[in-house]
Amino acid sequence: MRTQVVIIGSGPSGLLLGQLLHNAGIDTIILEQKSKDYVLGRIRAGVLEQGAVALIEEAGAGVRMRHEGLVHDGIEIEFGGERHRIDFKALTGKTVTVYGQTEVTHDLMDVREACGAPTVYEALDVSIHDVESNHPKVRWTKSGQPYEIECDFVAGCDGFHGVSRQTFPADKLHTFERVYPFGWLGVLVDKPPVSDELIYVNHERGFALCSMRSTTRSRYYLQCRLDEHVEEWSDDRFWEELLLRLDSQVAARLQTGPSIEKSIAPLRSFVAEPMRRGRLFLAGDAAHIVPPTGAKGLNLAASDIAYLSRALIGFYKSSSTAGLDSYSQTALARIWKAERFSWWMTQALHTFPESSGFDRKIQKAELEYLFNSRAAQTALAENYVGLPY
Ligand code: APR
Ligand code: PHB
């Protein structure tokens, strides 16, 4: 077997790359260790920068997003019981689109199936070989049978726990990490959201976020301890705690109901450098993780894929290796800015268990400055709607 690009992982990174390459006439195969239903069952964030929206449209997967995506002109940030609006449209001329990552994945899978490009689900024991040569090979097993494929390039789009990053020799990879001392407990509910826009809440009991998937489906989060288990959180307990963290106006609008999904996610910042080894390229969560506070995870995957797809298309169309050679450096420059922003949003909005009186005063000063300075609001807005790529 032979193809041009083997893509490992059928999350948003792998699917987007597969479609952009297919549209340019480049053959790919996607190897995914889970089943299609499992991949589609994962609930993740749902805020898209304009760059990500444009890329999904370029991939030919934008029809439903255009109809069902909710365009948001700003967000609200609540502190000390008062809400302050950050008007992205007025400050930057840009907006974001609320459309769930699960839906993005679904739409990309549909267009891939429609064009007949191959995806192998439940591909186990994926291993990557000879990436320092011009003919890398990827092996896997499916239903107990071994397979091997030769290719020109391997795209490691297999997320934080994938095999691609682990293929780098330890002395060729530098990693940078911050683990935060709390998690997010998330609930999905079929009730209209409390507001037309997202509300990020800094409360002394802990951070809270009121988000949404549509005009009838809401997503709420509570900052929780890392040693808590989801079973300890009945729906009633979740709603009671959320009400304590919201101001009275928002609390009065909250429509509660039975949760249709409930999970706890830890918060982490992580970057691996470089993102290339020979003919293996990392993209998305395989190379970096952001805490969810700025909703940057999927958007960073999109900018990696924009750079990587252009680089691969440049190689096949004009025999140029320039894009491939600069990929890691170009992608990392944008990644670190999103890492900084996600870290900043996280430290500004959460209650840190070990923070001193000094830390809390600094956090208060930071937010008061933000609410009173157009320059500070513009900085937040510019980063939230996404830096250019
Ligand atoms: N072999 C094959 N597939 C694998 C392997 C492996 N060894 N390891 C992981 N995978 C698959 C996972 O099952 C998953 O479907 O790779 C896929 C990676 O997808 P994501 O984790 O969604 O990562 P990515 O596509 O980079 O998307 C980034 O997803 O995790 C969120 O917050 C993140 O929004 C961001 C986006
Ligand atoms: C979500 O809707 O899941 C969401 C929105 C914004 C964030 C994080 C998560 O910052």
The series of mean pLDDT values per 10 residues for the chain, 389 residues long, is 98 98 98 96 90 98 97 98 98 97 97 97 98 98 98 98 97 97 97 98 97 96 97 98 98 98 97 98 98 97 98 97 98 98 98 93 98 98 97
Q: Where in the chain is the domain with CATH 3.50.50.60?
A: 5-72+92-177+268-346
Does 292 sit in the ligand 2 pocket, CB within 6 Å?
yes
- Judge whether 382 and 341 are in contact, CB under 8 Å: no
Question: Does the domain made of 181-267+361-385 have the CATH classification 3.30.9.10?
Answer: yes
Catalytic residues, which ones? 72, 200, 292, 296, 384
At 44 the pLDDT is 84
**How many Cβ atoms are within 10 Å of 247's Cβ, its own excluded?**
15
* Cβ neighbours of residue 258 closer than 8 Å, sequence gap 6 or more: 189, 235
- Positive or negative: CA dihedral 126, 129, 131, 135: negative
* Cβ neighbours of residue 290 closer than 8 Å, sequence gap 6 or more: 269, 296, 297, 300, 338, 339, 342
Place of tokens 């990557």: 128
At 269 the pLDDT is 98
Alpha-carbon distance of 181 to 226, in angstroms, equals 7
Q: Where in the chain is the domain with CATH 3.30.9.10?
A: 181-267+361-385
Ligand nearest to the CA of 275: 1
Question: Does the domain made of 5-72+92-177+268-346 have the CATH classification 3.50.50.60?
Answer: yes
Tell whether pTM > 0.95.
yes
Best probe residue, ligand 1, of 6, 13, 125 (max atoms within 8 Å of C-beta): 13
Which residues on adjacent β-strands are paired with residue 148? 139
Best probe residue, ligand 2, of 88, 104, 211, 293 (max atoms within 8 Å of C-beta): 211
Distance 374 CA to ligand 1 centre (A): 38
